[in-house]
């Protein structure tokens, strides 16, 4: 069984390396052969994340592109979680349902991933631990770990076993282990290295006695030097955008951004504070902007709901504000550790009264970095709240990337030195007043949540009210001038267009690239509000418009219908808490494209 | 005598004639000028309510934000620019009701700012409902049969939380209030000044006369350095002790604890993350490093 499996893998990889099949009937599914998926499953705290990190590092040292993503339950210990690692000779950037190699660490873990396994999946497990129902290749992970002195290193034995099956250079795995355990006692490092060695030797023996070759071909191009997760991409983007103040209340899946920035606070000279609640966090951010800092808060739907009054305040006092909203399924607590694109509507309408705002939705890690960086400039230039919509899937996924652009002076604030007759709400281009701050210049700077005059003093005069509403709404024209156009991917004359936003981009891109002669394009919006007008022309007159988004009501679809009168022939809506997979989308698209146009 | 630089000509002040807010406004201005502060270095942050309109009636920077949220805003302004003098000021409903949670955590953080609460034991701008400090039995259009909840004791609460400066003043004693405010604003760390104040429109019980009869200035022998004694004093309700109940100096402040101003005193608007450092940080994730 194992021999056959290895041979199949080898043949996959040595063939066309993912070239899309040119011949054959239209719409036939073509297999992508240049990605290999390893799924590690186990209880929370069992160390699957560690195996994932070690293997990711090791495969990258071997010159491959790696994508990793985790799915987990909302608990600290127990349950069943899994980590996916996809190894590619081409860049790999999407979640996949395919499992080529599965390592379940306990019986529950096997059941947890069972629906994703096929007869082609190679299963590697400790049958003694799995007990009844164990199948596939047996490897005594726990017993070998115990020989190192610590049974809990079974996960490291598993990492070694995978590396042995793959016939990887042990030195690379050793380096990956060293990197992973950097800063830990030498004894820990040595025991883990020994555990990995035991797993490696055990599976090397299997490989040799079955006389099968298990090498990936050399990758065609060197992998990108950096590896970032979504949380790191947003956090680094914030630093590149000149973020100098962060206040947040922890909430999955947004906490990674707070953690990362908190650990860099002293190094980068930025203020980071964990607030008592999201209301405080959001108000602190406005206080920071008022004093000339560039403030960020990071949260998820529930916390964002608490911030809505403060977003309205930002609208009224015309303060810049940057909010990172990492979405998860709701309503209320919903599925705390799962993914969704359910909060577009919330972000769009959050806050009472009328005021302009910008909503960004990065499609991948490069965009997560870039748009977070730009969010600070946009917020500052237009004096409006900017909301960056990501999700659990994007936050907890990672892949290798090229080093992104870093501005020479990240995020110099757009503020003016005040004169003694300075008025905070004086006239300015497109309704944007020059923004002074206290402590710089000779003017006084007031802001007020009541309707106010140019000096920010309370007024109920109708003519002032009307002028101020017009001034605030006028800023919408500045927003439109700076709007980011949607990205068209595919033949410009495609008859069918799949429209998506945010993190659906990469699974969709992989899905479409696997279709033979699809005559299909993707239109991805990384700015979901206000909409860049170019999008309307791109989808007008297309025979088929397909909407793909991670919610149950088609929120973005309805936004486009409202703005442009767009009529959707098909909607691919997913709201089970799992990310879109390339395979799932591909199957759905094949089914749609076989239907007559309604 | 030169004009007070904090004075602002306000033809239309939204307070009722005889309101306790007037003497508080004067005491604030006198305290600021008495400390030789420059209006350009002072930021008043307030919430919503009649008391929260005070920043409109003097000449400083101001952030008149949301109901209950003055403290997070003021804390962040201090964290972004420690050169500024911060006063967070509002009424009892705003600071102890809507913003109660922020009060607890502002005390814990110990930012160098002064929290001034106009405590008139009633809601004014919403027209006469009970506030967190309303006394039991106090009848209002909503608490029709009288307040049944225990009144919040802000000074006892602050001392219990180990606030570094806790004082109580009475608006009817403008000079005493001014002196307490001066001490509070000079204090390096969080300071609470709860100012007892009559509401001439909606509180017919806790009047000027009532406060005079039910309060007494702390004796000179009171040692504000002794927290246990301060706490015992803070529990006294008849008479209510006035003055500095508790003070501890030398405590690290929120902005010091941020750990970013020791090596670089510049406020945040004068600095931005170092691009070379960011590049190095990202390259740490490089397997080829």
Q: pLDDT tens across B138-147, in order?
A: 999 999 999 9
pLDDT bucket at A217, cuts 50 / 70 / 90: low
Q: For residues A124 and A231, give the distance between their C-alpha atoms in angstroms, rounded to a whole number.
A: 31
Write down the CATH number for the domain with range A227-401.
Answer: 3.40.50.970
The pLDDT of residue B101? 98
CB contact under 8 A, A283 and B81: no
The C-alpha of B141 sits at a distance from chain A's nearest C-alpha, in angstroms, of: 26
The count of other CB atoms within 10 Å of the CB of residue B42 is: 24
pLDDT at A420 over 60: yes
- Overall average pLDDT of the A123-143 stretch: 90
Which CATH number does the domain housing residue B172 bear? 3.40.50.970
The pLDDT of residue A219? 62
pLDDT bucket at A552, cuts 50 / 70 / 90: very high
Q: For residues B37 and B42, give the distance between their C-alpha atoms in angstroms, rounded to a whole number.
A: 7
Domain count for chain B, please give it. Answer: 1
CB contact under 8 A, A225 and B283: yes
Q: For residues B238 and B218, give the distance between their C-alpha atoms in angstroms, rounded to a whole number.
A: 13
Q: Which residues of B touch A269 (CB under 8 A)?
A: 260, 263-264, 271, 273
pLDDT bucket at B286, cuts 50 / 70 / 90: confident
pLDDT at A16 over 70: no
The least confident of A30-34, A93-97, A472-476, B33-37 is: A30-34
Q: Which residue in A396, A399, A505 sits closest to A90, CA to CA?
A: A399
Q: What percent of chain B clears pLDDT 90, i.e. is strictly above it?
A: 94
Domain A487-594 matching CATH 2.60.120.380: the answer reads: no
Query: Tokens 């307490």 label which residue?
Result: B180
pLDDT bucket at B3, cuts 50 / 70 / 90: confident
Structural contact between residues B86 and B71, judged by C-beta atoms closer than 8 angstroms? no
- Overall average pLDDT of the A262-268 stretch: 96
CB contact under 8 A, B63 and A287: yes
The predicted-structure confidence for B187-235, as pLDDT tens digits, reads as follows 999 999 999 999 999 999 999 999 999 999 999 999 999 999 999 999 9
ipTM: 0.98
The pLDDT of residue A525? 98
The pLDDT of residue A206? 84
Residue B1 has what DSSP assignment?
-
pLDDT bucket at A348, cuts 50 / 70 / 90: very high
pLDDT at A19 over 90: no
The count of other CB atoms within 10 Å of the CB of residue A566 is: 19
Please give the C-alpha separations between residue A107 and each of A83, A126, A129, B107, in angstroms, as whole numbers.
Answer: 16, 10, 7, 50
Q: For residues B238 and B220, give the distance between their C-alpha atoms in angstroms, rounded to a whole number.
A: 19
Q: For residues A426 and A62, give the distance between their C-alpha atoms in angstroms, rounded to a whole number.
A: 60
pLDDT bucket at A18, cuts 50 / 70 / 90: very low
The C-alpha of A114 sits at a distance from chain B's nearest C-alpha, in angstroms, of: 33
- Overall average pLDDT of the A342-368 stretch: 98
Which H or E run includes A102?
strand A101-104
* Residue in B with minimal Cα distance to A276: B105
CB contact under 8 A, B273 and A272: no
Residue in A171, A227, A262, A280 to test binding to B, most B beta-carbons within 10 Å? A280
Structural contact between residues A438 and B37, judged by C-beta atoms closer than 8 angstroms? no
Structural contact between residues A437 and A415, judged by C-beta atoms closer than 8 angstroms? yes
CB contact under 8 A, B273 and A450: no
Q: Which residue in A121, A73, A75 sits closest to A96, CA to CA?
A: A121
DSSP string for B146-191 = ---SPPP-HHHHHHHTT-SEEEEEETT-HHHHHHHHHHHHHSSS-E
The pLDDT of residue A322? 98
pLDDT at A480 over 50: yes
Q: Which residues of A touch B69 (CB under 8 A)?
A: 279-280, 283, 310
List the beta bridge partners of residue A298. Answer: A324
- Overall average pLDDT of the A66-71 stretch: 94
HEC per residue, A169-180: CHHHHHHHHHHH
Supply the mean pLDDT for chain A: 90
Q: Which residue in A433, A324, A340 sits closest to A373, CA to CA?
A: A324
Class of residue B229 by CB neighbours under 10 A (exposed 0-12, middle 13-18, buried 19+): middle
- Overall average pLDDT of the B121-127 stretch: 93
- Overall average pLDDT of the B78-82 stretch: 98
pLDDT bucket at A537, cuts 50 / 70 / 90: very high
Structural contact between residues B116 and B167, judged by C-beta atoms closer than 8 angstroms? no
A454, A380, B79, B280 alpha-carbon torsion, rounded to 10°:
-170
pLDDT at A210 over 90: no
User: What is the span of the domain harbouring residue B217?
Assistant: 21-283
The least confident of A448-452, A539-543, B99-103 is: A539-543
Structural contact between residues B164 and B248, judged by C-beta atoms closer than 8 angstroms? yes
With respect to residue B154, please indicate whether it lies within any of the assigned structural domains: yes
The least confident of A219-233, A428-442, A448-462, A481-495 is: A219-233
The pLDDT of residue A13? 31
Structural contact between residues A296 and A269, judged by C-beta atoms closer than 8 angstroms? no
pLDDT at B27 over 70: yes
Query: Tokens 């073509």 label which residue?
Result: A30
From-to residues of CATH 3.40.50.970 in chain A = 227-401
Q: For residues B97 and B124, give the distance between their C-alpha atoms in angstroms, rounded to a whole number.
A: 14
The dihedral built from the CA positions of residue A274, A276, A277 and A281, taken in this order, carries a sign that is negative
pLDDT at A111 over 80: yes
The pLDDT of residue A408? 80
pLDDT bucket at A405, cuts 50 / 70 / 90: confident
The least confident of A131-135, A407-411, A445-449, B66-70 is: A407-411
pLDDT at A517 over 90: no
pLDDT at A526 over 70: yes
Please give the C-alpha separations between residue A355 and each of A349, A456, A526, A556, in angstroms, as whole numbers.
Answer: 10, 17, 21, 20
Contacts of A411 (CB under 8 A, 6+ apart): A240, A241, A242, A243, A244, A294, A373, A376, A377, A380, B272, B273
The least confident of A28-32, A447-451, B101-105 is: A28-32
The pLDDT of residue B83? 98
pLDDT at A14 over 70: no
The C-alpha of B177 sits at a distance from chain A's nearest C-alpha, in angstroms, of: 26
Q: Which residues of B touch A458 (CB under 8 A)?
A: 14, 53, 56, 64
pLDDT at A432 over 70: yes
Which H or E run includes A129?
helix A127-130
CB contact under 8 A, A236 and B282: yes
The C-alpha of B139 sits at a distance from chain A's nearest C-alpha, in angstroms, of: 30
Residue in B9, B80, B106, B262 to test binding to A, most A beta-carbons within 10 Å? B80
Q: What percent of chain A clears pLDDT 70, i.e. is strictly above it?
A: 92
pLDDT bucket at A215, cuts 50 / 70 / 90: low
Q: For residues A110 and A135, give the distance between their C-alpha atoms in angstroms, rounded to a whole number.
A: 10
What is the distance between the terminal CA atoms of chain A, rounded to a whole angstrom?
47
Half-sphere exposure of B186 (CA within 13 A, CB side): 13
Residues across chain B: 289
pLDDT at B17 over 80: yes
Q: Which residues of B touch A442 (CB under 8 A)?
A: 40
With respect to residue B90, please indicate whether it lies within any of the assigned structural domains: yes
Compute and round to an integer the Cα radius of gyration of chain B.
21
What six digits make up the tokens of B264? Answer: 């670089």
- Overall average pLDDT of the A183-188 stretch: 94
Q: For residues A129 and A270, give the distance between their C-alpha atoms in angstroms, rounded to a whole number.
A: 48
The C-alpha of B270 sits at a distance from chain A's nearest C-alpha, in angstroms, of: 8
pLDDT at A520 over 90: yes
Residue A360 has what DSSP assignment?
E
The C-alpha of A559 sits at a distance from chain B's nearest C-alpha, in angstroms, of: 30
- Overall average pLDDT of the B30-52 stretch: 98
Return the CATH fold of A2-223. Answer: Pyruvate-ferredoxin Oxidoreductase; domain 3 (3.40.920)
Higher pLDDT, residue A1 or A253: A253
pLDDT at A26 over 90: no
CB contact under 8 A, A268 and B273: yes
* Residue in B with minimal Cα distance to A264: B281
Rounded (5°) CA angle B271-B277-B278: 90
* Residue in A with minimal Cα distance to B288: A225
pLDDT at B30 over 60: yes
The C-alpha of B165 sits at a distance from chain A's nearest C-alpha, in angstroms, of: 21
Q: For residues A538 and A366, give the distance between their C-alpha atoms in angstroms, rounded to a whole number.
A: 24
DSSP string for A265-317 = HHHHT-EEEE-SSHHHHHHHHHHHHHTT--EEEEE-HHHHHHTHHHHHHHHHH
Contacts of A567 (CB under 8 A, 6+ apart): A545, A561
pLDDT bucket at A63, cuts 50 / 70 / 90: confident
What six digits make up the tokens of A253? Answer: 């899946």
From-to residues of CATH 3.40.920.10 in chain A = 2-223
Q: For residues B49 and B46, give the distance between their C-alpha atoms in angstroms, rounded to a whole number.
A: 9
The least confident of A298-302, A331-335, B132-136, B270-274 is: B270-274
The predicted-structure confidence for A371-403, as pLDDT tens digits, reads as follows 999 999 999 999 999 999 999 999 999 999 998
Q: What percent of chain A clears pLDDT 90, i.e. is strictly above it?
A: 78
CB contact under 8 A, A309 and B66: yes
The pLDDT of residue A151? 87
Structural contact between residues A294 and A322, judged by C-beta atoms closer than 8 angstroms? yes
């Amino acid at each position: 069984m194992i021999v056959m499996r290895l041979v199949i893998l080898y043949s996959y990889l040595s063939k066309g390396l993912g070239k899309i099949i040119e011949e054959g009937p239209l719409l036939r599914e073509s297999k992508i052969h240049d990605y290999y998926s390893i799924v590690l499953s186990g209880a929370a705290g069992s160390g699957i994340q560690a195996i994932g990190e070690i293997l990711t590092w090791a495969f990258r040292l071997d010159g491959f592109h790696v994508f990793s993503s985790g799915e987990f339950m909302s608990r600290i210990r127990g349950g069943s979680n899994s980590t996916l690692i996809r190894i590619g000779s081409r860049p790999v950037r999407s979640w996949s349902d395919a499992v080529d190699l599965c390592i379940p660490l306990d019986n529950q873990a096997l059941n947890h991933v069972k629906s994703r396994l096929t007869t082609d999946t190679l299963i590697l497990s400790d049958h003694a631990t799995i007990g009844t129902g164990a199948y596939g290749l047996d490897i005594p992970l726990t017993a070998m770990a115990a020989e190192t002195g610590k049974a809990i290193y079974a996960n490291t034995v598993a990492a070694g076993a995978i590396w042995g099956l793959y016939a990887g250079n042990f030195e690379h795995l050793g380096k990956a282990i060293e990197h992973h355990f950097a800063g830990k006692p030498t004894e820990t490092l040595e025991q883990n290295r020994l555990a990995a060695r035991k797993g490696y030797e055990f599976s090397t023996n299997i490989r040799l006695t079955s006389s099968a070759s298990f090498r990936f071909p050399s990758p065609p191009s060197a992998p990108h030097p950096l590896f970032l997760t979504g949380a790191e991409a947003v956090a680094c983007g914030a630093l590149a955008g000149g973020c100098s103040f962060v206040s947040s209340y922890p909430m999955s899946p947004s906490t990674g951004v707070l953690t990362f920035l908190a650990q860099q606070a002293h190094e980068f000279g930025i203020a980071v504070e964990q607030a008592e609640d999201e209301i405080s966090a959001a108000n602190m951010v406005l206080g920071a902007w008022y004093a000339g800092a560039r403030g960020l808060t990071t949260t998820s739907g529930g916390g964002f709901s608490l911030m809505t009054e403060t977003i309205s305040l930002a609208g009224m006092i015309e303060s810049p504000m940057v909010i990172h909203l990492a979405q998860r399924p709701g309503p209320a607590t919903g599925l705390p550790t799962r993914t969704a694109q359910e909060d577009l509507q919330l972000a769009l309408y959050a806050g009472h009264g009328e005021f302009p705002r910008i909503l960004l939705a990065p499609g991948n890690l490069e965009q997560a970095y870039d748009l977070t960086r730009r969010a600070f400039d946009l917020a500052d230039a237009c004096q409006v709240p900017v909301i960056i919509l990501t999700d659990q899937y994007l936050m907890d996924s990672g892949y290798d990337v090229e080093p992104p652009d870093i501005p020479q002076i990240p995020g110099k604030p757009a503020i003016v030195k005040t004169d003694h007759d300075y008025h905070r709400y004086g006239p300015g281009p497109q309704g944007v007043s020059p923004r002074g701050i206290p402590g710089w210049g000779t003017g006084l700077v007031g802001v007020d949540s009541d309707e106010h005059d140019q000096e920010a003093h309370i007024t109920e005069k109708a003519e002032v009210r009307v002028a101020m509403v017009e001034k605030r709404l006028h800023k919408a024209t500045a927003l439109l001038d700076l709007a980011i156009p949607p990205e068209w991917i595919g033949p410009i004359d495609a008859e069918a267009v799949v429209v998506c936003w945010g993190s659906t981009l990469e699974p969709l891109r992989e899905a479409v690239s696997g279709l033979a002669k699809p005559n299909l394009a993707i239109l991805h919006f990384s700015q979901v509000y206000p909409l860049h007008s170019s999008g309307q022309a791109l989808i007008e007159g297309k025979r088929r418009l397909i909407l793909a988004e991670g919610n149950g009501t088609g929120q973005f679809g309805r936004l486009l219908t409202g703005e442009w009168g767009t009529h959707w022939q098909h909607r691919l809506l997913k709201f089970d808490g799992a990310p879109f997979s390339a395979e799932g989308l591909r199957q759905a698209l094949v089914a749609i494209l076989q239907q007559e146009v309604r | 005598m030169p004009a007070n630089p904090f004075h602002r000509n306000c033809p239309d002040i939204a307070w009722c004639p005889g309101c306790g807010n007037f003497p508080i406004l004067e005491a604030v201005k006198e305290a600021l000028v008495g400390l030789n502060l420059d209006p350009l270095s002072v930021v008043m942050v307030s919430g919503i309510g009649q008391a929260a309109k005070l920043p409109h009636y003097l000449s400083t920077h101001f952030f008149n934000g949301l109901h209950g949220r003055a403290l997070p805003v003021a804390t962040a302004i201090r964290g972004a620019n420690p050169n500024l003098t911060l006063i967070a000021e509002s009424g009892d409903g705003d600071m102890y009701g809507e913003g109660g949670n922020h009060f607890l955590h502002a005390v814990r953080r110990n930012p160098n700012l002064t929290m001034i609460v106009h405590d008139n034991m009633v809601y004014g701008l919403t027209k006469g409902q009970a506030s967190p400090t309303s006394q039991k039995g106090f009848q209002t259009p909503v608490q029709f049969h009288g307040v049944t909840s225990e009144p919040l004791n802000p000074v006892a609460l602050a001392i219990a939380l180990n606030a570094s400066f806790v004082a109580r003043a009475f608006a009817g004693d403008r000079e005493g209030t001014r002196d307490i405010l001066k001490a509070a604003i000079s204090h390096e760390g969080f300071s609470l000044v709860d100012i007892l104040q009559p509401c001439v429109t909606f509180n017919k019980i806790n009047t000027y006369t009532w406060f005079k009869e039910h309060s007494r200035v702390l004796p000179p022998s009171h040692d504000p350095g002794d927290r246990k004694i301060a706490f015992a004093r803070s529990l006294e309700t008849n008479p209510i002790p006035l003055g500095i109940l508790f003070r501890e100096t030398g405590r690290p402040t929120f902005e010091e604890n941020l750990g970013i101003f020791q090596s670089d005193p510049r406020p945040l608007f004068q600095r931005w993350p170092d691009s070379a450092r960011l590049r190095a940080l990202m390259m740490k994730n490089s397997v080829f490093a």
